[in-house]
Structure 1
Amino acid sequence: MKLTKRLLMSVVALGIAGAVSGTAFAADTIAIITPSHDNPFFKAEADGAAAKAKELGYATMVLVHDDDANKQNELFDNAIAAGVKAIILDNAGADASVAAVKKAKDKGIPSFLIDREITTTGVAVSQIVSNNYQGAQLGAEEFVKLMGEKGNYAELVGKESDTNAGIRSQGYHDVIDQYSDLKSVAKQTANWSQTEAYTVMESILQAHPDIKGVISGNDTMAMGAYAALEAAGRKDVIVVGFDGSNDVRDSIKKGGIKATVLQPAYQQAQNAVVQADKFIKTGKTGLEEKQLMDCILINAANASKLETFALKP
Structure 2
Amino acid sequence: MATPLSAAEMLSALKTEGLGVHEHVGWTTHNRDKATGKAFGPVIGVLIHHTAGHGDRELCFDGRYDLPGPLCHAWLGRTEGLWLIGHGRANHAGLVDHDVLDALRKQAPLPHDDHAHADGNDCLYGLEIENLGNGKDPYPDAQYRQAVLWAAALCRAHGWSERSVAGHKEVQPGKIDPSFDMDDFRADVRKQLAAGPTGTGGKPAGKASKPRVDLSRLIDAAKTDPEAKQGHVSYLTGTNLTEAALVELGHLARTYAGDGSFGSATVTAYARWQRHLGYTGAAANGIPGRTSLVKLGAASGLFTVIA
TM-score strictly above 0.5: no
TM-score, structure 2 as length reference: 0.29
More strand by share: 1
TM-score, structure 1 as length reference: 0.28
